[in-house]
Amino acid sequence: MRIRSNVIVSTFLVASAFAAAGALSYAAPPVGNASATDAPRPAPEFQGIETWLNSKPLALDQLRGKVVLVDFWTYTCINCLNHLPSIQSWHEKYKDHGLVVVGVHTPEFPYEKSTSNVQSAINRLHIKHAVAQDNSYATWKAYSNSYWPAVYLIDKQGRIVYSHFGEGSYGATEKKIQQLLAEQPAVGS
């Protein structure tokens, strides 16, 4: 454990030095990236999910008529942990009004693939919404996702209509949730 800590600290210091020198590129997108998607596209189905936690297996076809928030996260990502209170708040505030929150846990490190580690994190963090364990990155790839955290909002017709990458834009995201919940489902959907 001590060796790992020293390696992590050393890695952080080296990364910090590279960042200060401008030699390190970050995967994080630019600030202010919350956006309605230009053209809504059908949301990909959850794929390759190894385990569902806090829920029975979910399918987007079953969730038609509801608004779905898909949150790509991992339990050791500080940005994910920083945005988790908003995700949890939206789940509690809007679950009885038609919002379904699905946290897609996609591991960055090998030890994050352990279901018992993910379950421990869920318990420690008091997560009540559904969590899909995407160890193979199948759902991540289906969404063409590149970031932790990443939020996708799916309308009642099953289309991705909004996305946000990284922390922030909580007010804009909640406003979009409220707007989507207020919309009437299209006839025949």
pTM for the structure as a whole: 0.81
Domains of the chain: 41-182 (3.40.30.10)
CA 150 distance to own-chain centroid: 5
Tokens coding 118? 């993910």
Which pLDDT tens digit goes with each residue over 110-148? 999 999 999 999 999 999 999 999 999 999 999 999 999
Phi, psi (rounded to 5 degrees) for 111: -70, -15
